[in-house]
Amino acid sequence: MSDIKNIKDKFISKLKNDLSIDEINEIKTELFGKNGLISLKFKTIGSIPEVDRKKFASNLNQVKDELQNLITFKINEIEGKKINEKLEKEKIDITLPERPFVRGKIHPVSQTIDEISSIFSEIGFSIEEGPDVENEYNNFTALNTPDNHPARDMHDTFYLDENKDVLLRTHTSPVQIRTMLKDKPPFKIIAPGRTYRSDSDQTHSPMFHQVEGLHIDTNINMGHLKGCLNYFIKEFFEIEKIKMRFRPSHFPFTEPSAEVDIGYEIKDGKIIIGEGNQWLEILGCGMVHPNVLKNVKVDHLKYQGYAFGIGIDRLAMLKYGINDLRAFFDCDYRWLNHFGFDPLDVPSNYRGLSR
């Protein structure tokens, strides 16, 4: 009995020393090897008197477990230490640069078109498109702007032939004509796209973007026009209240016609939209002229409605604080990087137009 205790005490104290793996393995063999001290003890179990046998065995097992656990613990301790030492040596400078990544960007005009589409989508407009090259009829004549009309002077037109029959569209309004010729009323569309005028200076670019809007039904009046644009402008600029002014103007293809100004002020060199005492013209609109409806074979006694045209680049400049229109098309990577949007920032109704 005391023999077992002796073994236990002796080896526990032995194992308390600082040992190498080899030394521990030696001890392991000494105890549990074929002729190990503990192994030999197990072989004696049969010769222990029946009365004591149970106690002896239980005692022996207990000592065996205790020593074995201690050995395992010691081994783990040494191995853990070794691994830690190894990992410590593998330490790197984690502040070194990561593998390079490049970020693509979406152009602010594209982003703005997506924002506009998202807003109008919510109130039931769908998107139509038309070609950049137009014939004279769709761009002017069908829009109640005959050849001798002085309003044509306001559109410095690029022509593709000497007869001036084909041209680069000067506005997105010909999409109205195409849409109404193609389908039957009611119409509720917007048409964003490229437009062209032979104008080039600080505030004019020979190419720019417009979005056309058209809503024709049996009962659409100027109140709906006002409501639609009021809604759009509030949503677009992401503000609660907007100071907006409708004032009479003239476009050959609408009657009555209006231009819309929004209030703004300059605070600390930044433009604040929606308040203030200054007015900024942002779009033209009106009730579609009966002559236009006649030209596209829509019964103007039964159907009426409004149309509008908005400069997209101008809206983008106002919303995102961009000063120079020409820079939009200059393709300077610094500008594109600065004003561009992450491709994952898709404007949508549920997550809002912008972050």
Partner 1 sequence: MKITYDWLKDHLKTNAKEDKLLEKLTDIGLEVESIENLSEGLDLFKIAKIIKTEKHPNADRLKVCDVDIGDKEIKKVVCGAANAREGLLTVYAPPDAIIPKNKTKLVVAKIRDVTSYGMLCSESELNLSDESDGIIELPSTKYAKKKGKSFFSKANFNQIDLSITPNRPDCLGIRGIARDLSAAGFGNLKSVKDKKINSKKKQTLKVKITKENNQGCLSFGSCLITNLKNIESPKWLKDKLISIGQKPISAIVDITNYVMIDINRPLHAYDADKIEKGIIVRNSKSGEEFTALDNKNYKLDNGMCVISDAKGVLGLGGIIGGTRSGTELDTKNILLESAYFEPRSIRKTAKKLNIDTDAKFRFERGIDQLSIEEGLNKAANLIKEICGGEISKIDIQKIESYKNKTIKFEPKTFEKITGFKISTKEMINILDNLGFKLKKEKKFFKLSVPSWRPDIMQEIDIVEELVRITGYEKIKIENPIKDRTKNTLNQIQKLFHFIQRSIASKGYLEAITWSFADAKYNDHFKESNKEIKIVNPISSELGVLRNSIFSNLTMYMSKNLDRGIKDLSIFEIGPIFYGSQPGEQNTVVCGLSAGKKSRLSWLEKERNVDVFDVKRDVIQTLVEAGNDSEKFYIDHKSPDYYHPGKSGRIFLNKGKDEVAAYFGEIHPNIIKTLDIKTESLVGFEIFLDNLKLTKKSLKDQKTKYSVSDFQKSERDFAFIVDKKISAQDLVSVISNIDKNLISNIKVFDVYEGNNIPENQKSVAISVTIQSSEKTLKDNDLEKINNLIIETVEKKTGAKIRS
Positions 294 through 313 that interact with partner 1 (CB under 8 A): 304
**Looking at 121, 237, 275, 280, which residue binds partner 1 (CB under 8 A)?**
121
User: Is 127 in contact with 192 (CB distance < 8 Å)?
Assistant: yes
CA distances from 216 to 23, 186, 287, 303 (A): 96, 5, 9, 6
List Cα–Cα distances, 275 to 236, 245, 313, 319, in angstroms. 15, 12, 21, 14
CB of 109 to partner 1, least distance (A): 6
Binding of partner 1 by 278 (CB under 8 A): no
**Is residue 329 close enough to count as binding partner 1 by CB under 8 A?**
yes
206 near partner 1 (CB under 8 A): yes
122 touching partner 1, by CB under 8 A: yes
Angle between helical axes of 50-89 and 2-15 (0-180°, round to 10): 10
> Under rule CB under 8 A, which residues in 11-70 are in contact with partner 1?
none
Q: How many residues bind partner 1 (CB under 8 A)?
A: 88
Which residues lie across from 215 on neighbouring strands?
188, 306
To 5 degrees, how large is the angle CA 205–CA 210–CA 213? 165
Applying CB under 8 A, which of residues 37, 48, 57, 151 lies at the interface with partner 1?
151
Binders in 223-262 for partner 1, by CB under 8 A: 223-224, 226-228, 230-231, 245-250, 255-259
As a whole number of angstroms, the distance between CA 155 and CA 285 comes to 16
Q: Counting contacts by CB under 8 A, is residue 348 touching partner 1? A: no
Q: Is residue 352 close enough to count as binding partner 1 by CB under 8 A?
A: no
Among 43, 103, 270, 355, binds partner 1 (CB under 8 A): 103
The enclosing H or E element of 287 equals: strand 278-288
Residue 115 lies near partner 1 (rule: CB under 8 A)? no
Query: Rounded distance, CA 70 to CA 52, Å?
Result: 27
138 binds partner 1 (CB under 8 A): yes
Among 14, 28, 105, 243, indicate the residue that binds partner 1 (CB under 8 A): 105
Give dist(CA 283, CA 236) in Å, integer: 14
Q: How far is the CB of 309 from partner 1 (least distance, A)?
A: 15
Give the residue with the Cβ less far from partner 1, 41 or 169: 169
